[in-house]
Structure 1
Amino acid sequence: MNADSEDRLDRAFQALADPVRRAIVARLSTGPATVNELAEPFAITTQAISRHIHVLEEAGLVTRTRDAQRRPVHLEPSALEELTSWIDRYRLVHEQQYRSLDSVLADLGDTVTHKEKKK
């Protein structure tokens, strides 16, 4: 992984470390929304929501467009795919390790069962 990719991952994970920003990403997964729409479920100002959106933009997780007077915020699926890809690499390694451990434990169980039957 190159330095640019590492930097993007760092910014994305840092942005997602905040529960409000994770909630914004979750809401945007259902479709674009304005700042006011994103602010509705929170007991914080629209200015605070705008700052959260700015952090998500800097991390490449969301984009804003202009639609007449509206400035909807959109989720950036490619950025999420990059995060998922990075996580999947490690998940697959650990799943293989667990499968190997399961196999060893099953073999041990068979050995113990076989010894008990001989008694």
Structure 2
Amino acid sequence: MLKGLGNLGDMAKMMKAAQEMQSKMAETQEALARITVEGEAGAGLVKATATAKGELTGLEIDPSIFDPNEKEVVEDLILAAIKDAQAKAAERMEQEMAKVTEGLGLPPGMANPFG
């Protein structure tokens, strides 16, 4: 009689799954703000700390590299440490987001369809 009701049930399941995913995504975003990663350069002479969202939260510089004649080297090491921390943050974010989307059957690397 009412053949269309089957599709409504499927739609309700999809909506529920979408709401659950949005909730998990929000939880993951909050977790990413708490997870920290550390990038380094110069065999650890410069270390940069960032959240998994990529926000730089700390910078540690070994005093042994402070030589006025080596200013450009120090600047390069600082930039390299920050870039390393940002790359690690992006990698960690991707890992955490994959945990959320893997249950949906989405292809790996697919962007957040709700973001």
Q: Same fold (TM over 0.5)?
A: no
Report the TM-score when normalising by structure 1.
Answer: 0.30
Bigger Cα Rg: 1
More strand by share: 2
